[in-house]
Structure 1
Amino acid sequence: MKIVFNSSPLIFLARLDLLTQFIESEDKFYLPQVVKEEINAKNDEASAYIDNLIANNQLMVKGVKLVSLANRLNDRLGQGESEAIALGIELQTDYIILDDFAARKQAIRLGLNVKG
Protein backbone atom coordinates (compact mmCIF):
# COMPACT_ATOMS: atom_id res chain seq x y z
CA MET A 1 0.00 0.00 0.00
CA LYS A 2 0.97 3.62 -0.52
CA ILE A 3 0.34 5.97 2.40
CA VAL A 4 0.85 9.76 2.52
CA PHE A 5 1.40 11.55 5.83
CA ASN A 6 0.92 15.13 6.92
CA SER A 7 3.31 16.51 9.56
CA SER A 8 1.19 16.45 12.74
CA PRO A 9 0.29 12.73 12.63
CA LEU A 10 3.94 11.84 11.94
CA ILE A 11 5.17 13.98 14.83
CA PHE A 12 2.56 12.65 17.26
CA LEU A 13 3.26 9.02 16.32
CA ALA A 14 7.00 9.61 16.72
CA ARG A 15 6.52 11.26 20.14
CA LEU A 16 4.38 8.33 21.28
CA ASP A 17 6.94 5.80 19.98
CA LEU A 18 4.28 4.35 17.65
CA LEU A 19 5.72 5.39 14.30
CA THR A 20 8.00 2.35 14.16
CA GLN A 21 4.96 0.05 14.07
CA PHE A 22 3.83 1.72 10.85
CA ILE A 23 7.24 1.92 9.24
CA GLU A 24 8.09 -1.74 9.84
CA SER A 25 5.26 -2.86 7.55
CA GLU A 26 5.81 -3.50 3.84
CA ASP A 27 3.80 -0.39 2.93
CA LYS A 28 5.37 2.63 1.20
CA PHE A 29 5.21 5.88 3.16
CA TYR A 30 5.40 9.31 1.54
CA LEU A 31 5.37 12.94 2.57
CA PRO A 32 5.61 16.11 0.52
CA GLN A 33 8.74 18.27 0.72
CA VAL A 34 6.88 21.03 2.58
CA VAL A 35 5.84 18.55 5.28
CA LYS A 36 9.50 17.58 5.73
CA GLU A 37 10.31 21.28 6.14
CA GLU A 38 7.54 21.67 8.75
CA ILE A 39 8.95 18.72 10.67
CA ASN A 40 12.52 20.04 10.49
CA ALA A 41 11.32 23.38 11.90
CA LYS A 42 10.40 21.58 15.16
CA ASN A 43 14.06 20.65 15.83
CA ASP A 44 13.26 18.11 18.55
CA GLU A 45 13.69 14.36 19.16
CA ALA A 46 10.64 13.45 17.09
CA SER A 47 11.84 15.47 14.10
CA ALA A 48 15.33 13.94 14.38
CA TYR A 49 13.78 10.45 14.44
CA ILE A 50 11.66 11.26 11.37
CA ASP A 51 14.72 12.67 9.58
CA ASN A 52 16.52 9.40 10.29
CA LEU A 53 13.63 7.44 8.74
CA ILE A 54 13.85 9.69 5.68
CA ALA A 55 17.62 9.20 5.45
CA ASN A 56 17.09 5.42 5.58
CA ASN A 57 14.41 5.60 2.84
CA GLN A 58 11.73 4.31 5.19
CA LEU A 59 9.83 7.56 4.58
CA MET A 60 10.06 8.99 1.08
CA VAL A 61 9.93 12.72 0.39
CA LYS A 62 8.28 13.71 -2.89
CA GLY A 63 7.86 17.02 -4.62
CA VAL A 64 4.27 17.77 -5.58
CA LYS A 65 3.55 17.95 -9.31
CA LEU A 66 -0.11 18.94 -8.97
CA VAL A 67 0.90 22.44 -7.89
CA SER A 68 -2.29 24.10 -9.16
CA LEU A 69 -4.42 21.76 -7.03
CA ALA A 70 -2.21 22.35 -3.99
CA ASN A 71 -2.48 26.12 -4.52
CA ARG A 72 -6.29 25.96 -4.75
CA LEU A 73 -6.48 23.87 -1.59
CA ASN A 74 -4.08 26.26 0.12
CA ASP A 75 -6.80 28.93 0.03
CA ARG A 76 -8.64 26.91 2.71
CA LEU A 77 -5.96 24.69 4.24
CA GLY A 78 -2.38 24.89 5.40
CA GLN A 79 0.38 24.29 2.89
CA GLY A 80 1.33 20.92 4.39
CA GLU A 81 -2.23 19.60 4.26
CA SER A 82 -2.73 20.97 0.73
CA GLU A 83 0.41 19.34 -0.61
CA ALA A 84 -0.26 16.06 1.21
CA ILE A 85 -3.69 15.87 -0.45
CA ALA A 86 -2.22 16.75 -3.86
CA LEU A 87 0.50 14.11 -3.41
CA GLY A 88 -2.10 11.55 -2.36
CA ILE A 89 -4.00 12.16 -5.59
CA GLU A 90 -0.79 12.11 -7.66
CA LEU A 91 0.36 8.79 -6.23
CA GLN A 92 -3.13 7.31 -6.17
CA THR A 93 -2.42 6.51 -2.56
CA ASP A 94 -4.33 3.89 -0.61
CA TYR A 95 -4.54 6.13 2.47
CA ILE A 96 -3.76 9.66 3.53
CA ILE A 97 -3.12 10.35 7.21
CA LEU A 98 -4.52 13.75 8.24
CA ASP A 99 -5.64 15.14 11.60
CA ASP A 100 -7.11 18.49 10.49
CA PHE A 101 -10.91 18.29 10.07
CA ALA A 102 -11.10 20.68 7.10
CA ALA A 103 -8.25 18.84 5.35
CA ARG A 104 -9.91 15.49 5.99
CA LYS A 105 -13.17 16.80 4.53
CA GLN A 106 -11.42 18.09 1.38
CA ALA A 107 -9.48 14.85 0.93
CA ILE A 108 -12.66 12.78 1.16
CA ARG A 109 -14.37 15.13 -1.31
CA LEU A 110 -11.50 14.48 -3.73
CA GLY A 111 -11.85 10.71 -3.38
CA LEU A 112 -9.02 9.91 -0.97
CA ASN A 113 -9.30 7.31 1.79
CA VAL A 114 -8.57 9.28 4.96
CA LYS A 115 -7.25 7.94 8.26
CA GLY A 116 -6.11 9.79 11.33
Structure 2
Amino acid sequence: MLIIADSSALVALVVCDALHLLEQLFDDVSVPQAVFDEVTVEGKPAAETLRGYLSDKVRTIDITDFVIAAEGLGQGELEAMALYKHLHADYLLVDDKRARKVARYNQIAITGSQGILLLAKHAGIIERVAPFIARLHASDIRISDRLTQRMLELAGENG
Protein backbone atom coordinates (compact mmCIF):
# COMPACT_ATOMS: atom_id res chain seq x y z
CA MET A 1 0.00 0.00 0.00
CA LEU A 2 1.07 3.55 -0.75
CA ILE A 3 0.60 6.52 1.59
CA ILE A 4 1.33 10.15 0.70
CA ALA A 5 2.23 12.24 3.74
CA ASP A 6 1.66 15.90 4.60
CA SER A 7 3.89 17.88 6.93
CA SER A 8 1.86 18.31 10.12
CA ALA A 9 1.12 14.61 10.47
CA LEU A 10 4.76 13.70 9.85
CA VAL A 11 5.92 16.09 12.57
CA ALA A 12 3.30 14.66 14.94
CA LEU A 13 4.57 11.13 14.29
CA VAL A 14 8.15 12.21 15.03
CA VAL A 15 7.08 13.98 18.23
CA CYS A 16 5.31 10.88 19.57
CA ASP A 17 8.13 8.57 18.41
CA ALA A 18 5.93 6.75 15.90
CA LEU A 19 7.47 7.61 12.51
CA HIS A 20 8.77 4.05 12.18
CA LEU A 21 5.18 2.79 12.08
CA LEU A 22 4.72 4.12 8.54
CA GLU A 23 7.31 1.69 7.18
CA GLN A 24 5.69 -1.17 9.07
CA LEU A 25 2.18 -0.38 7.83
CA PHE A 26 2.84 0.68 4.23
CA ASP A 27 4.93 -0.66 1.36
CA ASP A 28 5.64 2.85 0.09
CA VAL A 29 5.72 6.22 1.85
CA SER A 30 6.09 9.28 -0.38
CA VAL A 31 6.00 13.05 -0.01
CA PRO A 32 5.87 15.87 -2.53
CA GLN A 33 8.79 18.28 -2.75
CA ALA A 34 6.85 21.06 -0.98
CA VAL A 35 6.24 18.86 2.08
CA PHE A 36 9.91 17.89 2.21
CA ASP A 37 10.86 21.57 1.98
CA GLU A 38 8.40 22.52 4.77
CA VAL A 39 9.52 19.91 7.29
CA THR A 40 13.27 20.15 6.73
CA VAL A 41 13.71 23.88 7.32
CA GLU A 42 16.65 24.30 9.68
CA GLY A 43 15.50 24.97 13.23
CA LYS A 44 12.05 23.44 12.78
CA PRO A 45 11.02 20.63 15.13
CA ALA A 46 11.99 17.22 13.74
CA ALA A 47 13.79 18.75 10.71
CA GLU A 48 16.90 16.57 10.95
CA THR A 49 14.96 13.38 11.63
CA LEU A 50 12.61 14.03 8.72
CA ARG A 51 15.42 15.04 6.35
CA GLY A 52 17.03 11.65 6.86
CA TYR A 53 13.79 9.70 6.78
CA LEU A 54 12.34 11.41 3.69
CA SER A 55 15.47 11.84 1.58
CA ASP A 56 14.57 8.93 -0.74
CA LYS A 57 10.79 9.43 -0.55
CA VAL A 58 10.43 12.78 -2.36
CA ARG A 59 8.45 12.98 -5.59
CA THR A 60 7.76 15.99 -7.77
CA ILE A 61 4.27 16.75 -9.01
CA ASP A 62 2.53 19.37 -11.13
CA ILE A 63 -0.59 20.32 -9.20
CA THR A 64 -2.55 21.56 -12.22
CA ASP A 65 -6.04 20.04 -12.52
CA PHE A 66 -5.71 17.60 -9.63
CA VAL A 67 -7.44 19.23 -6.66
CA ILE A 68 -10.64 21.29 -6.57
CA ALA A 69 -12.06 23.59 -3.88
CA ALA A 70 -8.59 24.03 -2.40
CA GLU A 71 -8.69 27.65 -1.26
CA GLY A 72 -6.71 28.31 1.89
CA LEU A 73 -4.45 25.28 1.61
CA GLY A 74 -0.68 25.43 1.61
CA GLN A 75 1.56 24.29 -1.22
CA GLY A 76 2.49 21.12 0.64
CA GLU A 77 -1.13 20.10 1.16
CA LEU A 78 -1.97 20.82 -2.49
CA GLU A 79 1.01 18.84 -3.76
CA ALA A 80 0.27 15.96 -1.39
CA MET A 81 -3.30 15.71 -2.69
CA ALA A 82 -2.15 15.98 -6.29
CA LEU A 83 0.48 13.28 -5.72
CA TYR A 84 -2.17 11.06 -4.12
CA LYS A 85 -4.33 11.40 -7.24
CA HIS A 86 -1.43 11.04 -9.68
CA LEU A 87 -0.03 7.89 -8.05
CA HIS A 88 -3.44 6.42 -7.13
CA ALA A 89 -2.30 6.14 -3.52
CA ASP A 90 -4.21 4.26 -0.86
CA TYR A 91 -4.13 7.01 1.80
CA LEU A 92 -3.24 10.63 2.38
CA LEU A 93 -1.68 11.21 5.80
CA VAL A 94 -2.92 14.62 6.92
CA ASP A 95 -3.90 16.19 10.26
CA ASP A 96 -4.96 19.71 9.24
CA LYS A 97 -8.75 20.09 9.57
CA ARG A 98 -9.23 22.25 6.47
CA ALA A 99 -7.00 19.99 4.36
CA ARG A 100 -8.93 16.92 5.52
CA LYS A 101 -12.19 18.56 4.45
CA VAL A 102 -10.82 19.38 1.00
CA ALA A 103 -9.39 15.87 0.68
CA ARG A 104 -12.78 14.32 1.45
CA TYR A 105 -14.39 16.65 -1.11
CA ASN A 106 -11.86 15.38 -3.66
CA GLN A 107 -12.62 11.74 -2.77
CA ILE A 108 -9.22 11.18 -1.18
CA ALA A 109 -8.95 8.49 1.49
CA ILE A 110 -7.38 10.09 4.55
CA THR A 111 -5.87 9.13 7.85
CA GLY A 112 -4.09 11.22 10.44
CA SER A 113 -1.25 10.73 12.86
CA GLN A 114 -3.60 9.25 15.45
CA GLY A 115 -5.14 7.04 12.77
CA ILE A 116 -1.68 5.61 12.10
CA LEU A 117 -1.41 4.73 15.79
CA LEU A 118 -4.77 2.98 15.63
CA LEU A 119 -3.80 1.05 12.48
CA ALA A 120 -0.56 -0.01 14.17
CA LYS A 121 -2.44 -1.27 17.22
CA HIS A 122 -4.92 -3.23 15.11
CA ALA A 123 -2.01 -4.72 13.12
CA GLY A 124 -0.37 -5.84 16.38
CA ILE A 125 2.67 -3.59 15.88
CA ILE A 126 2.07 -1.65 19.10
CA GLU A 127 0.21 -2.75 22.21
CA ARG A 128 -1.27 0.61 23.22
CA VAL A 129 -1.90 3.98 21.56
CA ALA A 130 -2.21 5.89 24.85
CA PRO A 131 1.54 6.40 25.46
CA PHE A 132 1.97 7.84 21.96
CA ILE A 133 -1.02 10.13 22.39
CA ALA A 134 0.33 11.27 25.76
CA ARG A 135 3.57 12.33 24.05
CA LEU A 136 1.55 14.30 21.51
CA HIS A 137 -0.36 16.06 24.28
CA ALA A 138 2.90 16.89 26.07
CA SER A 139 4.19 18.64 22.94
CA ASP A 140 3.21 21.89 21.23
CA ILE A 141 1.05 20.01 18.73
CA ARG A 142 -2.62 20.88 19.00
CA ILE A 143 -4.88 17.86 19.25
CA SER A 144 -8.62 17.75 19.67
CA ASP A 145 -9.62 16.18 22.98
CA ARG A 146 -12.70 14.79 21.25
CA LEU A 147 -10.58 13.07 18.60
CA THR A 148 -8.21 11.73 21.24
CA GLN A 149 -11.12 10.27 23.21
CA ARG A 150 -12.50 8.71 20.03
CA MET A 151 -9.13 7.13 19.20
CA LEU A 152 -8.80 5.74 22.72
CA GLU A 153 -12.32 4.29 22.46
CA LEU A 154 -11.56 2.69 19.08
CA ALA A 155 -8.35 1.27 20.54
CA GLY A 156 -10.26 -0.12 23.53
CA GLU A 157 -8.21 2.00 25.93
CA ASN A 158 -10.84 4.38 27.27
CA GLY A 159 -11.09 3.39 30.83
TM-score by length of 2: 0.63
Q: Mark the CA change 1:47 to 1:66 in structure 2 (over 3 Å): closer, same or farther.
A: same
Report which of the two structures shows the higher radius of gyration computed on alpha carbons: 2
Runs of 5+ unmatched residues, structure 2: 113-159
**1:78 matched to which residue of 2?**
74
Identity of aligned residues (%): 30
The count of corresponding residues between Structure 1 and Structure 2 is 112
Tell me the distance in 1 between the aligned counterparts of 2:69 and 2:75: 10
Q: 1:17-96 maps to which residues of 2 (within 5 A)?
A: 17-44=17-44, 46-55=46-55, 57=56, 60-69=57-66, 73=70, 75-96=71-92
Alignment root-mean-square deviation, CA: 2.0
On the 8 A contact 2:63/2:78 being kept in 1, the answer is no
Normalised to the residue count of structure 1, the TM-score between the two structures is: 0.84
Q: Which has the higher strand share?
A: 1
Greater RCO (Cα-Cα under 8 Å, separation 6 or more): 1
Residues 72 and 64 (structure 1 numbering): CA distance in 2 closer, same or farther, change over 3 Å?
farther
- Counterpart-to-counterpart distance in 2, 1:21 and 1:80: 22
| Alpha-carbon distance in 2 for matches of 1:115, 1:66 | 21
